[in-house]
A and B are shown apart, each in its own frame.
Chain A
């Protein structure tokens, strides 16, 4: 069975850092493009970042470029999102998604919650 399990969400102060993890099961993350999407409470979906299938090219939304870094660990079969200089507007449920960056988007994780507050 193919599924994604996110973790790492937490309460963090403005200006702080957090690393989200996404454990993949049933497929190999290095063989697919992967994506992070977020959703603030009561709001719509926002595409955050993607890593391409080939070459590992990375892409970022303007709102997070320079602060967030997407990466994957092929040995652990995990996707990561390193989030620095967090702001109140980064508070959201963060979804890990299989696909994007040259691969068909299909499977979504259940999300991990990030709260940014002092």
Chain B
């Protein structure tokens, strides 16, 4: 199974913009990998933010957006809030299953 890579950690200033990326050892990430993004805070279950590259659930704050760029899945946070400090995971689907990235620890500071 493929290895999915994410930045281990990123820092963003309150009100700032940050991009998280999701790459695959099997090649470019494409829409057919149905890229997902999840947010997990300490002691809580993960929450689905983005599905199928760029679609949001009803509970997803508008400041989060998803896209594909440069062969990677991208999560963009515009106007970071203190409550956005969390671990973020991407998930990619392949023909034989799915693989999570290692996660990105996002600090809002």
Residues of A with Cβ closer than 8 Å to B?
35, 37, 44-47, 50, 59-62, 95, 99-100, 104-111
Contact = CB atoms under 8 A, between A and B. Distances in A.
Given A44-B89, A105-B91, 17 more contacts: A37-B100, A44-B87, A44-B102, A45-B40, A46-B100, A47-B91, A47-B97, A47-B99, A47-B100, A59-B98, A61-B1, A61-B97, A99-B51, A100-B93, A104-B51, A104-B52, A106-B57
B45 A105 contact: no
B76 interface: no
B96 interface: yes
Interface size classification for chain B: 20 to 34
Contacts of A61: 1, 97
User: What DSSP secondary structure best describes chain B's contact surface?
Assistant: strand
Contacts of B57: 106
A105 B97 contact: no
A107 B102 CA distance: 21
Given A50-B97, A59-B96, A59-B97, A45 B45 contact: no
A108 B97 contact: no
